[in-house]
Structure 1
Amino acid sequence: MNFVSTRGNVNQIGFIDTVLMGLANDGGLLVPEKIPQIPAEKLEAMSKLSYQELAYEIFSYYVEDEIPANELKELIEKSYSTFRHPEVTPVQKVKENLYVLELFHGPTFAFKDIALQFLGNLYSYVSKKTGETIHILGATSGDTGASAIEGVRGKEGIRICILHPHGKVSKVQELQMTTVDDKSVLNLAIEGTFDDGQSIIKEIFADVDLKNKYHLRAINSINFVRILAQTVYYFYAYFQVKKEKNVESVNFSVPTGNFGDIFAGYLAKKMGLPVGKLIVATNENNILEGFIQDGVYKPGEFQSTYSPSMDIQVASNFERYLYYLVGENPNAVSELMENFKTEGKIVVNEELLHQVKEDFAAHGVEGQECLDTISKYYSETDYLLDPHTACGVAAYERCNEPNEVCVTLSTAHPAKFNESIELCNIEQTYPEEINQLFDKPQHLEVIDANKEDVVRNLVKLFSYTTK
């Protein structure tokens, strides 16, 4: 298995090099040179596997022989041994034809744990093999930061710096990141938005000399391993629903801001999983809904919402989808991304827009609709949705046909967003792991949102690692 850049100037690198490169050195994103195809008879056999066994089968298509089979299995077992549920990502039936895929049973109660527990262990594995200290740099709209820190903290040879938008994440999200007292962990709260942080990250990774000098590695979903790990639970959910409903295909409604989670579903579908509709659920920051409906990808004015992890205007993984939309033509992708840089928007023609509508449906869920959905489902089904999952369920109600079976991805435990739950006049009990965070001191630096301030703080972290 080889990987290439969406912009065409990085070709035929292997899995481990793809993990370490993160953002392609030409500024593009890394994708498999050829997406593996899984035949129907293989899918049937895979449907009988545990989550860990399924992860091994899917990872193996992309890893091939770069990690010995027994070592890959060990990495997977170690990564998912930290989850509170034996199925890792259990499927719950909420009502007829609506299922919720619970992705919040990991250490930080968020779906990011599924990829980042594995990626943290993989980075540790590579560090031990190469003897190289790994410096991880990432930005978060809320959940990635805590999951990334939890995935790598205490692992020899790894240091991590996470940027988050100051005052624009939930209190629990902030505490999960900033109560970690570890000299190998640096939390930077930037005076800006997640998009500002994401832009700084990309700017730093695009500086190849700086990236190589400090052995910088990506933890954000620009790293293909994040996408690969998330692909597994689409297969798992489909198999669980099919056992009960015996349907040919299943729709998925996905709360998304950075287009990573929904792209994982798109990849699963291209691998041969019988996925029907892929429903993109957004909030007021609805650039993705605008593109799917009108073919125009143009950031608007940033808005803070009840679902802060989706408060994103520029979706990092959107470029991966563009690559397949334009027929895997890197020159066309480069032209579109250059237009976005110079004109601030991407516009596709009617033919491509028709394909977009074949690939996705979309609905932007505004604040009151989000809260109403939480209240409605808690009242009618006694199931408590976090505000992001509520956006997914609201999009399901708008885009799903009555006879279609749909799985909504539940991306976080509602305890992480009690600010929104309280607005619905619902009292919830915090899990003890979250409850104890409120008594811990915080460790963070508040800085301006620019590359220079971030790099200056990074150098402090790196100087500690070299002592």
Structure 2
Amino acid sequence: MKDASFPEVCAQILHLYSAIDIEKLRAMTNSSFALFNDGKDPLPISALGDTDVRVLDTSLGPTFAFKDIGQQMCGQLLNYVLGKQNKKAKIVVETSGDTGPAAIYGVRGCSNVEIFCLYPQGRVSAVQELQMVTIQDANVHVYRTQGDTDEQASVLKELFRDEEFVRAQSICSVNSINWVRIAAQSSYFVWSYLELVRRGEVKFGAPINYVIPTGAFGNAMGAFLAKRMGLPIGRIICATNANDIVHRTLTTGDMSMGVNVQTESPAMDIQFAYNLERMLYFICNENPDIVRPYMQEVERQYSYIPGAVGAKLDSVVLRRIQEVFSSYSVSDAETLATIKEVDEKHNMVLCPHSATSVFAALHPFKELTATTLTVCVLTAHPSKFEEAVQRAIGRDPEFPPAITALRSMPHKFKTLDKRAPEPEVWRKDWIDILKADIASV
């Protein structure tokens, strides 16, 4: 597989977890990624000046975010399975900004899929919002909420607990709780390593580090999966923003949820990083009896149970985690300063999420990246976060034509508001509305 294209690597990895014929998977991956980067290299890797840091651009799909990679495959596989079974499905998803557009674009216009997507008003970028509310396809249903991403996730989790309703309505999810997302994302860590070997920048078998902007931990989980499959990754470095549950978990074992803070990197404004559970499962030798008590305590806090304070990891578990992972919580000031620094020194404009990974590589982990080749994952196009880029460099980023065209399109969405501040009131309201809409199509 050393000379394989990215679509081929993705197909081979998905084949490890699926009984679907490899030729069918190849057709799906080739179709999914054919138009990434206008048909050129779908995942460009470039050097950051004369440093030992490389940047892997995963943001060149239809919605200009790394989540297009997993969501395109989710859409392809869902369509394939439903077609074979002559069934329909209803996707319910919530987003902090990038998952929603990528999920919608992955299934828009599909006759056998309906998608219901929630996004938080005022907490996504203007472009992210336009990518959702301008979709007129009849199978797309968008909801603007007066909550944050953690509140949205709590509503969806409660909805999915109604197993009878979920089964009767054929409901599924395409958040990174869906394993296809993680498996597909693991493929670009494998492909990028092989590409660097082909270029002669790393000797086959030598370790490299990856620095990953981190919210719900799905992207980092993709890297961890690749490492577990044998990819020689040295360190997986997670760059968070002020919403730092991942950073606290990896450094101190503190799995308590803090207040959800609005930052310059809104797609990472998450306090419930649900993919941490998957990481713990593997770290604990796939023993659910060890993981379950931790997650029960996290769930108690997440469910607003009085007195619940989250979980504290055992020192042995924490030590195992720290054999693989490092992390840093990047401030808004550091994020904007990095966008400015990279623009001035390297003539490259970063989105604020990508900037967190580059900051971590160039500053707190500078000694580590100076001795081992390190790849920073770029996760979104800077034009999706024009206001942050303007604050950093004093000018607009370049806008792809597809994004410019969104500004003149009509909007279609519903609003989910909070008629009372008590969570038990508005959560019930939102669930009732969603259930009624889901059942009506």
Give TM-score, length-normalised by structure 1: 0.87
Paired residues for 1:83-102 under 5 Å: 83-84=36-37, 85-95=39-49, 96-102=51-57
Tell me which moved more, 446-455 or 73-82. Answer: 446-455
CA deviations over 1:220-270 (Å, ceiling 9, x no partner): 000000000000000111112223312411100000100000010001001
Tell me if 1:399 matches 2:368.
no
Query: How far apart, in 1, do the equivalents of 2:79 and 2:309 lie?
Result: 39
**Is residue 251–residue 404 contact of structure 1 (8 Å, CA) maintained in 2?**
yes
Query: Residue 52 of structure 1 aligns with which residue?
Result: 7
Aligned mate of 1:310, from 258, 268, 272: 268
Paired residues for 1:411-430 under 5 Å: 411-424=379-392, 425-430=394-399
Aligned mate of 1:446, from 396, 415, 437: 415
**Is residue 277–residue 361 contact of structure 1 (8 Å, CA) maintained in 2?**
yes
Paired residues for 1:57-456 under 5 Å: 57-63=12-18, 66-84=19-37, 85-95=39-49, 96-242=51-197, 243-247=199-203, 248-342=206-300, 343-397=308-362, 398-400=364-366, 401=368, 402-424=370-392, 425-448=394-417, 450-456=426-432
Aligned mate of 1:458, from 402, 426, 434: 434
Return the offset for 1:69.
Answer: 2.5
CA deviations over 1:2-25 (Å, ceiling 9, x no partner): xxxxxxxxxxxxxxxxxxxxxxxx
Aligned length: 418
Query: How far apart, in 1, do the equivalents of 2:179 and 2:429 lie?
Result: 28
**Is residue 110–residue 139 contact of structure 2 (8 Å, CA) maintained in 1?**
no
**Is residue 148–residue 219 contact of structure 1 (8 Å, CA) maintained in 2?**
yes
**Is residue 252–residue 278 contact of structure 1 (8 Å, CA) maintained in 2?**
yes
CA deviations over 1:404-452 (Å, ceiling 9, x no partner): 2110110000000001000021332211100111111211111136443
Task: Report the RMSD for the aligned CA atoms in angstroms.
Answer: 1.4
Query: How far apart, in 2, do the equivalents of 1:435 and 1:53 lie?
Result: 32
**Is residue 362–residue 399 contact of structure 1 (8 Å, CA) maintained in 2?**
no
Query: How far apart, in 1, do the equivalents of 2:111 and 2:396 lie?
Result: 41
Query: How far apart, in 2, do the equivalents of 1:322 and 1:405 lie?
Result: 27
Return the offset for 1:459.
Answer: 4.3
Aligned residue type for 1:67: I
CA deviations over 1:154-175 (Å, ceiling 9, x no partner): 1121000001111110000000
**Is residue 281–residue 395 contact of structure 1 (8 Å, CA) maintained in 2?**
yes
Identical pairs, percent: 34
Tell me which moved more, 133-142 or 50-59. Answer: 50-59
**Is residue 12–residue 22 contact of structure 2 (8 Å, CA) maintained in 1?**
no
Aligned residue type for 2:101: A
Query: How far apart, in 2, do the equivalents of 1:341 and 1:232 lie?
Result: 30
Secondary structure of the structure 2 residue equivalent to 1:245: coil
Structure 2 vs 1, CA of residues 200 and 463 (structure 1 numbering), >3 Å: closer, same or farther? Answer: closer
Query: How far apart, in 1, do the equivalents of 2:40 and 2:10 lie?
Result: 14
Query: How far apart, in 1, do the equivalents of 2:240 and 2:72 lie?
Result: 26
**Is residue 234–residue 324 contact of structure 2 (8 Å, CA) maintained in 1?**
no
Return the offset for 1:463.
Answer: 5.1
**Is residue 204–residue 451 contact of structure 1 (8 Å, CA) maintained in 2?**
no
Gapped regions of structure 2 (runs ≥ 5): 301-307, 419-425
**Is residue 166–residue 446 contact of structure 1 (8 Å, CA) maintained in 2?**
no
Structure 2 vs 1, CA of residues 385 and 263 (structure 1 numbering), >3 Å: closer, same or farther? Answer: same
Return the offset for 1:396.
Answer: 1.2
**Is residue 124–residue 156 contact of structure 1 (8 Å, CA) maintained in 2?**
no
Aligned residue type for 1:295: G
Query: How far apart, in 1, do the equivalents of 2:45 and 2:292 lie?
Result: 39
Query: How far apart, in 2, do the equivalents of 1:58 and 1:325 lie?
Result: 21
CA deviations over 1:289-332 (Å, ceiling 9, x no partner): 11111111111111100000000001011110111222211122
Query: How far apart, in 1, do the equivalents of 2:290 and 2:66 lie?
Result: 33
**Is residue 169–residue 439 contact of structure 2 (8 Å, CA) maintained in 1?**
no
Query: How far apart, in 2, do the equivalents of 1:393 and 1:297 lie?
Result: 25
**Is residue 365–residue 391 contact of structure 1 (8 Å, CA) maintained in 2?**
yes
Query: How far apart, in 2, do the equivalents of 1:459 and 1:355 lie?
Result: 42
Return the offset for 1:464.
Answer: 5.0
